[in-house]
Amino acid sequence: MKKIRCQKCAKTIKRPQDLITVFFYFRIFFYHETCYEEELQYARFPFTNLIPLNTLLSNIFTVFTFLAALTFLFTDTGGTRLLGLLLLLPALYRLISYLKWERTFRK
Ligand SMILES: [Zn+2]
């Protein structure tokens, strides 16, 4: 099992159900669930909020953006391919979070 340290308290996250992975400024950070909730209280501006990657809501958001990305990529109506590529980013970060951290942490 990989050792993952919480970004806020710097303690090792021991239980997989406590792990919250967060996308923030093109990096992935790790929090205890309780530390993440505390950190959310200090997020000031909507666009700089910490975005969790491994929650149910995030998974639903990822599926919708991925489907929208495929739609934009394969229906060429002029200039929509760039939007399609941008909409692939949430799925890419979710995949990286799962394959690199969550999957190995649960073993
Ligand atoms: Zn913590």
In a domain, 39, yes or no: yes
Mean pLDDT of the chain: 83
Q: Do 6 and 30 contact (CB within 8 A), yes or no?
A: yes
Specify the pLDDT at position 49.
Answer: 57
pTM of the model: 0.73
How far is the centre of ligand 1, averaged over its atoms, from the C-alpha of 72 (Å)? 39
The percent of residues in the chain predicted with pLDDT above 90, rounded, is 19
How far is the centre of ligand 1, averaged over its atoms, from the C-alpha of 88 (Å)? 30
Q: Is the pLDDT of residue 47 over 60?
A: no
C-alpha to C-alpha distance for 4 and 67, rounded to whole angstroms: 31
How far is the centre of ligand 1, averaged over its atoms, from the C-alpha of 28 (Å)? 15
Say if residue 80 is exposed, middle or buried (CB neighbours under 10 Å; 0-12, 13-18, 19+): middle
In a domain, 7, yes or no: no
Q: Tell me the pLDDT tens digit for each residue of 82-99.
A: 888 889 988 998 898 888
Range of the domain at 34: 16-106
In a domain, 4, yes or no: no
8 — phi, psi (to 5°)? -90, -50
In a domain, 28, yes or no: yes
In a domain, 5, yes or no: no
What residues are neighbours of ligand 1 (ion), with CB under 5 Å?
6, 8-9, 32, 35
Q: How many domains does the chain have?
A: 1
Q: Do 87 and 72 contact (CB within 8 A), yes or no?
A: yes
In a domain, 6, yes or no: no
